[in-house]
Amino acid sequence: MINKMKEAAHCLQNTSVKEWKRDGGKVVGYSCTFIPEEIIHAAGLLPFRLRGIGTTSMSIGDSYYGAVNCSVPKCILQLAGQGSYKFLDGAIITNGCDSMRRLEETWRKASEDYPGTLPDYYEYFPVPHKSVDYSIEFYEEELNSMIESLQNHFNVKISKSSLKKSIKLYNEGRKCLQRFDELRSRQDVPITGEDAKAVLIAAHAIPQEHFIDMLKEIIEKMEKAPSVSNGKKRILLMGSASDDIDFIHVIEEAGAIVVADTVCYGSRTYSTLIDEKSDPVHALSSHYLTQSICPRMLGYYKTRLAYVMDVIRKTKVDGVILQNVRFCDLHGSENGIFERDLDAAGIPCMRLEREYGPLSETGRISMRINAFMERIS
Amino acid sequence: MKRETREYNLDWMLWSSVVSGSKVKDGTEKEYRALLRLIPNFSGIIDGILRQGEPGRLFMKMGAEYLDDIKTVHDKGKKLCFGTFVASKTLFYAFDNVVPAWAEIMTVFATMLMRKGTAEYMDYCCEAGFTETSCSAQRGSVGAYLAGLAQKPDFLICGAPGICDTNANAMQFMSEYLDIPLFQLTFPSKLTGRRITDYHRRDYKALIEFVEEHAGSRLDEDRLRSVLEEHKRQDEIINEIYELARLKPCPMPPMFNLFLYAGKLQSSGRKAFTALLESMLQVMRENAAAGRAGTTSGKERARLLMCYIDHYTTDARFWQWVDSQEISLLPTLIFTFFNKGINYAAGREDQTYEIDTSTMDTMIDSLADINSHMPMVKQLRGPYDATGMWRDDLFFMSRIMKPDMTVYIGSMGCRNSYGVNKLIQRDAERFGLPTLLLFADAFDDRVASWEFCEDKISEFMHVRGILS
């Protein structure tokens, strides 16, 4: 089962996506955790989190983006421009951060030079940057517009009851992932961080029903699985987008085991459940705009620190790796404050700036992590 | 940070330089020339400003007043509000016990007046934990605040999440590092429409509540009306200045471009800015009547539109160079404010703000409206090619100002503009506007020196046949 998850983590068009497409299903890519998958799912579409994995060149990404932009959207653009996302029937880009929001224009403009690479359904979706009553209202209205737009384009009906069903389904997925987190962080760790990462990535790359079934099997095995930690240092991975399981492999090669994370493409999306009783669109807007620990929600550092301290307390980690992709100032600077506060709390941590994409700097990263391991030994 | 840099507070140093600079013309010309020799590191900027005559003197006076308020804020029992330039100052001048200081204005003062620019403050930010890839426009002054080398702010305002995350992030970092309360103004990605206006209004009312809470005082209706009326008067003068700037040759001296937006960002609603604008207008009217360009020689060989921001490093060499090349510097694109009646908004009046001082509610709506049209807030909030956004503004401005070329320069922290500046360049070239992207930092010579920028602009103008 883990191999299926790994397949989903290693490539874009995994077997499940191919099967979905073969059966006439449509796939909608989305760029950020602030887009409720439940809505796409309720439309009978497959929500697929956009990634830049497997990029081997930046010829297209660099042609449209500037030199000081983060390589995550650049890699996505690269893949889009070279046709790797042609299996998408739609894409929704949000203003997750300044570099990511510009993917909307760069992809659209690149498609003029690389015809056929822009999905038929292509939308920009704005998300407010604060969690107050009027921003939640605003976001709710935007979600209603998204629903209308999906209905019109794909000629489908997104009813309240279908939305409620999707919320229920995704809540089940969240509960399974919460259990998965409990198991992966117990004293005798039953799964490597590398494998765990594959599971978390697969959660947004294959049909949710299928994912839940597979995850339940994995959880069942994990309940009885032998420890793979063997005295390894327990690590919490924090920071910006990380969907490269090879990166986790490098960390674990240094004698660590990643038992928890708070990264984008990681454990960020399921710590709380969505209210299943109230109006579904309102429930989605309240949840997505208030529960995120992404630093794009500026001004909520203390909430995020409290969340991180809770994770540290529960998972009993030996150290924290605060990583950020270069030019990700949101995570990079917040990591600076986290470092101060975690140090003050006696929790060893290291900051690591890195590039996204092919691990071109494995040697440097490996050396830094080895040094950190020595420090916490 | 070097020990000697820690000897003086940044705000004190800037105050001292600007106040002293504003007095150097008080004596005879011979004394003035002798004094300039004593300030070799920033004689260019002082002379460049004061050479403008009365407007230069008033600009220095306005700067001195602004910095004096900041330096003495706590001595006078007032509260220091620190923020970023994307938030309008008008509101804060309506509180009699609040002094606003904006990061970018402090950075530009320091960048221009200090021999090595703000490098040490920028680097101190990194020592404190802020990323080195963040914007130099904030780091240049924020470093001094983090190091305790300035009056400690009592509260912080940020107005840029989603407009410029890096900018907003600087305020969040400062808030956490120094434990200072922070309010963030936020903006939807669209500019017009009832929902948008309603969002702006509610967010702005929340800001007022925050300021009242932390200032310990109430927003005074009469004072607010007076500040807004002054703001309205300033906008009327600015409208005329922009109209004159269209003339060929352009009667606006290059340095006036800085005066215009620095004044708007720094002293909107204050009488000192009105006096400066009136004086600038007078000079421009005289130049226009004489058919003279605003350059020192009175000639215009080319018209340059900076399509983002200007270049600010030590001694204001950018303006000196433009002037020496007899290039008319048209109003910088991003520093457009979209007040009612301004020429670049003709035909798209729904994108402008209007000041209504009838009641407290209309005034608050006006403030929210002003703020939602601030530089970057207006143009960078949505897709670059959407109605009313960056490309639209560039084309509208180009149609009326008729530049021969446009140049982009930003900072290494400009994720948002760098994300689409190649697209802007391509579209602008197709539009017929020669466009140069400079890979440099407007506030940090260490990325690329001013000489490099000068060389690139010159080369571009020669290659494209703009300036022979």
Tell me the C-alpha distance between B300 and B248, whole Å: 8
Of all residues in chain A, the one with the smallest CA distance to B163 is A98
- Chain B contact for A102, CB < 8 A? yes
- Identity of the residue in A95, A105, A330 whose CB atom sits nearest the CB atom of B385: A105
A75 and A178 co-located in one domain: no
The Cα of B69 is separated from the nearest Cα of chain A by a number of Å equal to 28
Q: Which of A128, A157, A186 is the last residue of a domain?
A: A157
pLDDT band at residue A359 under the 50/70/90 scheme? low
- Same domain? For A129 and A167 the reply is no
The pLDDT value recorded for residue B314 is: 82
Q: Rounded distance, CA B103 to CA B272, Å?
A: 21
Confidence class for position B269, pLDDT limits 50, 70, 90:
very high
User: Is-contact B139 B177, C-beta < 8 A?
Assistant: no
Q: Do B169 and A102 touch (CB under 8 A)?
A: no
* CA dist list (Å): B70 to B81, B111, B153, B447, B451: 10, 18, 10, 30, 33
Q: Please write down the HEC assignment for all residues of B75-140.
A: CCCCEEEEECCCCCCHHHHCCCCEEEEEHHHHHHHHHHHCCCCCHHHHHHHHHHCCCCCCCHHHHH
Instruction: Tell me: do A207 and A150 sit in the same domain.
Output: no
Of B177, B183, B420, the CB nearest to A105: B420
**How many Cα atoms are found within 13 Å in the side-chain-facing hemisphere of B157?**
32
Q: Residue range B410-415: average pLDDT? A: 95
Same domain, A138 and A183: no
Given an 8 Å threshold on Cβ–Cβ distance, is A65 in contact with B418?
yes
pLDDT tens string B204-235: 999 999 999 999 999 999 999 999 999 999 99
Residues 6+ apart with CB under 8 A from B460: B405, B407, B434, B436, B466
Instruction: Examine the domain organization and report whether A114 and A99 are in the same domain.
Output: yes
Non-local CB neighbours of B425 within 8 Å, separated by 6+ positions: B408, B435, B437
Mind listing the pLDDT tens digit for each residue in B325-347?
A: 999 999 999 999 999 999 999 99
The confidence band for A92, taking pLDDT boundaries of 50, 70 and 90, is very high
- Is the minimum CB–CB distance between A122 and chain B shorter than 8 Å? no
Contacts of B186 in chain A (CB under 8 A): 128-130, 135
Nearest to B419 among A65, A124, A134 (CB): A65
CB–CB contact B413 A68 (8 Å) = yes
Cα–Cα distance measured from residue A262 to residue A322, given in angstroms and rounded to the nearest whole number? 10
Q: Does B142 touch chain A (CB under 8 A)?
A: no
Spatial CB neighbours of B170, under 8 Å, sequence gap ≥ 6: A333, B84, B103, B130, B134, B135, B138, B139, B142, B158
Task: Please tell me which residue of chain B has the smallest CA distance to A112.
Answer: B423
Q: Is A68 on the interface with B (CB under 8 A)?
A: yes
Do residue B199 and residue A134 have CB atoms under 8 angstroms apart?
yes
Q: Is B184 an 8 Å CB contact of chain A?
A: yes
Average pLDDT estimate for A41-66: 96
CATH code (residue A129)? 3.40.50.11890
> Domain with A247 in it: what CATH number?
3.40.50.11900
Asked if A66 is an interface residue toward chain B (Cβ–Cβ < 8 A), one would say: yes
Question: Does the reported pTM lie above 0.90?
Answer: yes
Taking 90 as the threshold, does the pLDDT of residue B115 lie above it? no
Which residues of chain A neighbour B384 with C-beta distances below 8 Å? 102, 105
Q: What percent of chain B has pLDDT over 70?
A: 100
Do A140 and A166 lie in one domain? The reply is no
Query: Could you read off the pLDDT of B420-433 as tens digits, one per residue?
Result: 999 999 999 999 99
Res. A199: pLDDT tops 80: yes
**The pLDDT value given to residue A357:** 79
pLDDT for res A358: 66
The C-alpha of A2 sits at a distance from chain B's nearest C-alpha, in angstroms, of 37
Mean pLDDT in residue range A178-201: 97
Choose the weakest-confidence range: A234-238, B43-47, B217-221. B43-47
Chain A, residues 309-328, CB within 8 A of chain B, namely: 324, 326-327
Domain range for A264: 161-376
Instruction: Based on the fold, state whether residues A136 and A226 are members of the same structural domain.
Output: no
Q: Both A93 and A18 in a single domain?
A: yes
* A278 and A181 part of one domain: yes
Reported as a pLDDT band with limits 50, 70 and 90, residue B160 is confident
User: Do the chains contact at B415 and A70, CB–CB below 8 Å?
Assistant: yes
Is residue A302 domain-shared with residue A276, that is, in the same domain? yes
Contact residues on chain B for A67, CB-CB shorter than 8 A: 418, 439
Beta strands in B332-463 (DSSP E): 405-410, 435-441
Domain count, chain A: 2
The 10s digit of each residue's pLDDT in A274-295 is 999 999 999 999 999 999 999 9
Q: Do B162 and A135 touch (CB under 8 A)?
A: no
Name the pLDDT band for A361 (thresholds 50, 70, 90).
confident
Q: Are residues A234 and A277 in the same domain?
A: yes
pLDDT of residue A251: 96
* pLDDT tens, position by position, A108-131: 999 999 999 999 999 999 999 999
Q: Which residue of A has its CA nearest to B201?
A: A134
